[in-house]
Structure 1
Amino acid sequence: MNDAVLSAATAVLVRNWRGRHTVPAGGLYPHQWSWDSAFIAIGLRHLSPRRAQQELDSLFSAQWADGRLPQIVFDPTRDDYSPGAKFWRSDRIPGSPPVSTAGLVQPPNHAWATLLVHESNPSESRRRRFLGRAYPSLVAWHQYLHSRRRSPETGLAAVVHPWESGLDNSPYWDSPLENVAGSFGDDVPRPDLEHADATERPSNREYGKYLYLAARYRDANCDDSAAACPFRVEDPAFNAIWARSELALAGIAEELGIAPAYDHRQRSRDITEALESLWDEELGTYVARDAITGDLQKYRTVSGLIPLLLPEIRRGDELDALLRGPHFELGTSCLVPSHDLLAPTFDSSRYWRGPSWFNTAWLLVEALTGRGAGAEARALASSMAELAVLNDFPEYVDPHTGEPHGTRIFSWTAALCLDLQTRLIDGE
């Protein structure tokens, strides 16, 4: 299986490479996506550290003047994705880069990926001055989150659109979306349904809200003020990944031998502490909070498990118990379900409302490893590789049966399985 995983994963990444970056999938996702590229670079570093650096350099070159790293960098030769470059019209928005991008962002896993890429070949990284170029971009990105998205009252960053969380149609967003009065209308373009069944994707009603929010944000020149953002939610995974990447930024500054732009480790501790305001004692997990109403979104989702990544998280034992218990069934389920197996809102095939994803499984492998659960981490990594190879590297799978859903030949599935196979399974 080892050689099969490595050769098949490599073939996916070669197929989806576009000269300076990797697309998530050639049909459904033909552009560069932000947190996808960071996950992809983590796998690419085992094949070509220089190509992994290029993956991240390409994204950093599309950074906005305010520091944000955009959700999507558009390929000007492709016009078969919605909402695309014509929708966003980023060239009309002050502070946007010379290339066409979306105005939204995605979870900040980039500093973590940058440090891992450097560590895969430090001499090549130093020769190309990779960290020296990346650090100012990453600092600007994290300062954008701190100054523009963080609430002074809670200390947590908010997403202003479900897409920014990466967990697009999680049950977390149901109530906050209901509170958004507008909608894009009935004529909702859905080119995604040419590549995946409607039962596997967000509904037309959800897409109507998504496009309305995106258009309103665009028309406000992607301003992060309350007036431009009727959707504003604090998500545990987004903030946990931010805290984990602050630790990586500290490591980058140390590797460069420079004084850090600010105390990255203290900021990571501050975010970790702030996450406690999202703890729900009844559910035994972290949950999202509607930053407009203050209401906690009382669902068990994989997002609430991601704070396990943080070494100083207070509720690690409770999350361990939840992960192993009947709601997520680690070791029995295929990977880790995106939503509570026992919840009435669970759907085994629809996007982030139940299916298991490879990127969140990778994050939890890292969490388990950090907590000393090496055997369970390796078992989860092995099941990722097996499901990926057997099912042509799917986007996500049914947590009960392992049946593949979404698109295939998916880049982060290949990259993260390659990473774990090389580093954790073969490296035992």
Structure 2
Amino acid sequence: MTTTLTGPSAQARAALRRDATRVLLANWTGMSTVPSRTLYPHQWSWDSAFIAIGLRHLSPRRAQRELEALLGAQWGDGRIPHIVFNPAVRLDAYFPGPDFWQSTTAGRAAGAPPGVETSGIVQPPVHALAAALVHRSDPESSRRRGFLKWIYPRLVAWHAYLLRDRDFTGHGLASIVHPWESGMDNSPCWDGPLQRIVPVPAASFRRADLAHSDPADRPTDLDYGRYVRLAADYRGHGYRDAGTSHPFAVEDPGFNALLIASEHALAGIARVLGRDPRPHRERAEALTDSLVRHLWQPHAGMFLCRDVRADRVIEEMSVTGLLPLVVPSLPGRIASAMLRTARGDHFGLGSTSALVPSYDLLGSAFDASRYWCGPAWFNINWIIERGLRLHGAETEASALRHAVLDAAGASRFAEYIDPLTGRGRGATHFSWTAAVTIDFLARHDHGRDHEHDRREYR
């Protein structure tokens, strides 16, 4: 794969935007957008945030509706579930489905909404950042519909849930209780903590994903057996966090970095609504301090995950440890070290790999085709590009943006790609790939968002 700093021609950009728009139109259900019509036929939490970021350039109102549909399924304790199920979709179209999660019954004590079936776990908190960007795309429409006024208290409750109920160590950081909550489902980072989990037998469940994707691209049956065990046990505790023994509990730097970025976004939303932004800024700074103090590892040149149960650092180098580049007040020495790590042999940005891979290229578990064990993901590279710009690495950011556009078009908007060859893997016509493509194309033409972000963080 080759990358140029000039990027695609105007004609190529127009064709790419047209094709990406078709993907989002085809995956729109009338209320929200599915990630994939075949592989993921419901609404996913962080997918919808990225989808809204792209949709805002096509229809700000539809982008608002995307987030409103997701937040409409928020639980009473503040959590945003990682899946909102569409009752029109067959039960066997996706596993684990609503009959497994049983949110309206098992989750009642935790405040699961009675009128919609959801999962009981969460995904990375990128929603406030998405909401701020959606508002910015058409402030007049947003004000007229009361978008920020409606969504702001729900986002506040979401962050409060994470900081109140998921701080298991007192570090001030949120922990994930299932690998799926990281968004990086089968990352080798989780292999150590998952050794504690006794898997359910593979014969006890039927994986719908293998009917739509190459098994070599997907997590193994052993992985799934452990995922199902964790989810079933969490369901058995009523999806409560307090008083529950979590056999899997990890402080994930990427998850917390997105929480910090979203707290900064909430500060901007509060100011637009005439409210005091200082509590959000203070919380973001406190989180940043905790992130650096507890998860920064100088020997690795990046942030690493911490196994809460074992009270030890997980030495696997995953792209989640580079996502804190999106934190605006990251100390300069740390940002510089992370840039060196991204460019180095472990991630090969701009040399071995045009896009940042999901896992250490030199790691023993690296697999260029298997899900989060190495492939490069488009939404992750959107975050990395944003972080590069925030920390002044404009040349690298531009090269990465152009590489994303090249790879998205060449792979037919693949779910992810082989980071070494650029070959598309997983599903095609994937919604967040199309969405970040549209966002990059819009910013290629206008280039306004990052200047606005710098003003926000001053």
Q: TM-score range by the shorter chain?
A: over 0.9
Residue 101 of structure 2 is aligned to residue 88 of structure 1: yes
Which of the residues 136, 159, 164 maps onto 1:142? Answer: 159
Q: How far does the alpha carbon of each residue in 1:43-85 deviate from its partner, in whole angstroms, 9 at most, with x for none?
A: 0000000000000000111000001000000011112100000
Alpha-carbon displacement from aligned partner over 1:300-336 (angstroms, at most 9, x marks no partner): 1110000111122231111010001111111120311
Residue 353 of structure 1 is matched in structure 2 by: 373
- Alpha-carbon distance in 2 for matches of 1:368, 1:36: 22
Which of these residues, 368, 387, 397, is aligned with residue 417 of structure 2?
397
Q: Is the 8 A contact 1:216 1:228 kept in 2?
A: no
Is 1:62 aligned with 2:73? yes
2:46 maps to which residue?
A: 35
AA at the equivalent of 2:99: K
Alignment of 1:140-179 (within 5 A): 140-151=157-168, 153-179=170-196
Shift of 1:378: 1.6
Report what 2:346 is aligned to: 327
1:400/1:185 CA distance change after superposition, 3 Å? closer
2:69 maps to amino acid: S
Aligned mates of 2:233, 2:71 — CA distance in 1: 26
Q: Given residue 179 of structure 2, which amino acid in structure 1 is its aligned partner?
A: P
Distance 1:426 1:208 in 2: 47
In structure 1, give the amino acid aligned to 2:390. Answer: G
Partner in structure 1 of residue 279 of structure 2: 263
Which residue of structure 1 lines up, in the alignment, with residue 3 of structure 2? none
Match of 1:75 in 2: 86
Report Cα offsets for 1:235-282 as digits up to 9, x if no partner: 00000000000000000000111235x711111111111112112232
CA distance in 1, matches of 2:437, 2:199: 41
SS at match of 1:70: coil
How far apart in 1 are the matches of 2:58 and 2:255? Answer: 28
State the partner residue of 1:241: 258
* Number of the residue aligned with 1:199: 216
Q: Amino acid of the residue matched to residue 267 of structure 1?
A: R
Q: Distance in 2 between matches of 1:370 and 1:424?
A: 16
Secondary structure in structure 2 of the residue aligned to 1:76 = coil
| Amino acid in structure 1 at the alignment position of 2:165 | R
Rounded Cα–Cα distance in structure 2 between residues aligned with 1:152 and 1:167 = 22
Q: Identify the residue that residue 9 of structure 1 maps to in structure 2.
A: 20
For structure 2, the residue ranges without an aligned partner over 5 or more in a row are 1-11, 449-458
**In the alignment, what sits opposite 2:398?**
378
Pairwise CA distance, 1:360: 0.6
* Residue 385 of structure 1: how far off its partner (Å): 1.1
State the SS of the aligned residue for 2:299.
Answer: coil
Aligned partners of 2:364, 2:445: CA distance in 1, in Å? 36
Alignment of 1:305-344 (within 5 A): 305-314=322-331, 315-332=334-351, 333-344=353-364
Q: Classify 1:3/1:392 alpha carbon distance in 2 versus 1 (closer, same or farther; 3 Å).
A: same
Letter matched to residue 62 of structure 2: R
Indicate the RMSD between aligned Cα atoms, in angstroms: 1.3
Identity of aligned residues (%): 49
Partner of 1:275: 291
Mapped partners of 2:276, 2:335: distance in 1? 32
Deviation at 1:182, TM superposition (A): 4.9
Q: Which amino acid in the other structure matches residue 240 of structure 1? A: A
The number of residues matched between the two structures is: 427
Give the conservation status (yes or no) of the 8 Å contact 2:169–2:308: no
Q: 1:133 aligns with which of 147, 150, 154?
A: 150
Instruction: Give 3-state SS (helix, strand or coil) of 2:306's partner.
Output: strand
Give, in angstroms, the shift of residue 183 of structure 1: 3.1
Residues 95 and 208, structure 2, Cα contact 8 Å, conserved in 1:
yes
Amino acid paired to 1:84: G
Q: TM-score, normalised by structure 2?
A: 0.91
2:31 to 20, 25, 37: 20
Rounded to whole Å, the distance in 2 between the matches of 1:306 and 1:28 is 26
Structure 1: unaligned runs, 5 residues or longer: none
Contact residue 220 and residue 228 of structure 1 kept, 8 A: no
Question: How much has 1:152 moved relative to structure 2?
Answer: 5.0
Q: For 1:250 and 1:426, how far apart are their aligned partners in 2?
A: 25
Conserved 8 A contact 2:197-2:229: no
Contact 1:184 1:212 in 2 (8 A): no
Show CA shifts across 1:139-177 (max 9, x none): 010000011012352211000000000000111100100
| 8 Å CA contact 1:346, 1:353 repeated in 2 | yes
Superposition deviation, residue 187 in structure 1: 2.7
Take 1:129 and 1:62, find their aligned partners in 2: how far apart are those partners?
A: 18
